[in-house]
Structures are given as structure tokens and as C-alpha cells.
Amino acid sequence: MSVNKHLRSFVKRSGRLTNSQKLFFYNKENDLNYFNEKKIINYEELFNNKNKCILDIGFGDGKLLINIAKRFPDINFIGVEVYESGIGSILKDISDLNLKNIKIANIDAIELLKNNIKDKSLQGISLFFPDPWPKKKHFKRRIINNYFIHLVSTKIQINGFIKIATDWSDYANEIINLFDNHKNFVRVNEILYYKERELTKFEKRGIILGHKITELSFKTI
């Protein structure tokens, strides 16, 4: 795939929201933990501090992101998700826990990276269990490809990182090959923030199905 193109890696489905999810999702524009950015993000203004910032792509129900943000209160986290239930759930959790270091956007991560993230400004990016699009004819829809790697390489600081986990072995092998062929990344054993992390909902389901969990960590050079 050309480094100039990227197919949308998700299909918007309208799922059912719980009453609490509806309450927070439909009031998101008035929620201080939600933002709808139209320009380059100024992290200091968004978080009211000068802490480093990590972007979490596709946080699902948000439980893992919440857990990590609680453990590292001096790191800022931007979470992006396209599904309404996930937005509603995490906004409720942030409010209940009074967390000050998470901001949420309901946006395609690729569009956010292209249009709203300043070059070399992120400490890192995490991407847990992206849609594997398991049928071969759909591989072109996988979010991690040459275009994605080139894009994130321009947004992450030197000595920053990208953390990925998947339960599809062929996708893991493809990701390894793609990063191995990119001059700006080197594979490392693990990233501090994700040691002894909790399991995600999708991860638990993959384990029940007998899928092998592959965790991949790369540093920028």
C-alpha cells in the first residue's frame, strides 16, 4: 500500500448503549474530559500541565487505559475511539475517579494524527488489539501498514515508543516485518507503563478462543 493512502480500518456499527453510557456520550460536548479538536493540539492547554503525553488508539471499554492512567498520574493520556459505548463508559469512569490526566476524542485516529498532532510531540502511542480483519481479502483494512508506521514515526519523539498487542499470529508477523523494515524503529522487550498491565476484554476473549497473545514494543531512534 502506498504511504500516501490509508483505508478506514473500522466499520461504524450502532450498538446498544446502557443508560449511563447514553448519559455521558450524549453530554460529551459539555464534558471537560472530552475534546473535539479542530486545530493542532496544545497539550499544555488541554491538560493544564507540561507532562509528557501518550496517545491510546481504540481503547475499547477503556478499562486498561483507566488503569494505566491511575498508575501514572504524572503522564497525560489522550484516548481516541470511534464507538459510542466506549466513549460513554470511559467518560463515566474518568468522572467517577476524578482523573485529571485523560482526555477523550471520538475521532478516527488517523485523522487525529494527520491533522491535530504536532510532529515529534508524543512520548508514545499504544494500540491494543486492533481489528485483525482476519479474511485475506480484508487485510488491506488493517490499521497497521506502511502508511501508518510512516505517520506515527513523524509524531513520536526520539526515544519514544509504540506499544502493540494482538491475538492474531499472522497479523503479529506482519507487524514485526513492517517495523523491521522501517529505519526509525527498533524492537525492545517492553515499555515501563505496560508491565503487569491488566487484560482487556478483547484479550480475554482471545485467550478463551485459544489465540496466542503477542505483545510488541518498539522504540523510536
Q: What are the backbone dihedrals phi and psi of residue 34, each rounded to the nearest 5 degrees, phi first?
A: -115, 145
On whether residue 102 sits in a domain, the answer given is: yes
- For strand 102-105 and strand 76-80, is the pairing parallel, antiparallel, or unpaired? parallel
pLDDT digits (tens, 9 = 90+) for 124-141: 999 999 999 888 886 888
Residues marked active site are found at: 131
Tell me, yes or no, whether 113 lies in a domain. Answer: yes
How many domains is the chain built from?
1
Give domain status of residue 158, yes or no.
yes
Angle at 188 between CA 218 and CA 174, to 5 degrees: 55
> Which domain CATH number covers 180?
3.40.50.150
pLDDT in tens, 10-26: 455 556 888 888 888 88
* 129: in domain: yes
List all residues 6 or more positions away from 112 whose beta carbon is below 8 Å from its beta carbon: 37, 55, 80, 105
Whether 123 contacts 52, CB under 8 Å: yes
Residue 189's contacts (CB-CB under 8 Å, 6 or more residues apart) are: 217
Q: Where are the beta strands (DSSP E) in the chain?
A: 53-57, 76-80, 102-105, 122-128, 156-166, 185-188, 214-220
Q: Is 99 within a domain? A: yes
Block means of pLDDT (10 residues each) for the chain, 221 residues, are: 50 71 86 91 97 97 96 98 93 97 96 96 97 84 94 97 96 96 95 93 91 97 94
Domain of residue 168: give its range: 19-25+47-220
Sole residue written with cell 472530552: 34
Question: Does residue 8 lie within any of the structural domains?
Answer: no
What is the sign, positive or negative, of the torsion defined by CA atoms of 13, 18, 21, 25?
positive
pTM for this predicted structure? 0.91
Q: What single string gives the DSSP state of each residue in 68-115?
A: HHHH-TTSEEEEE---HHHHHHHHHHHHHHT-SSEEEE-S-HHHHHHH
31 part of a folded domain: no
Residue 51 lies inside a defined structural domain of this protein: yes
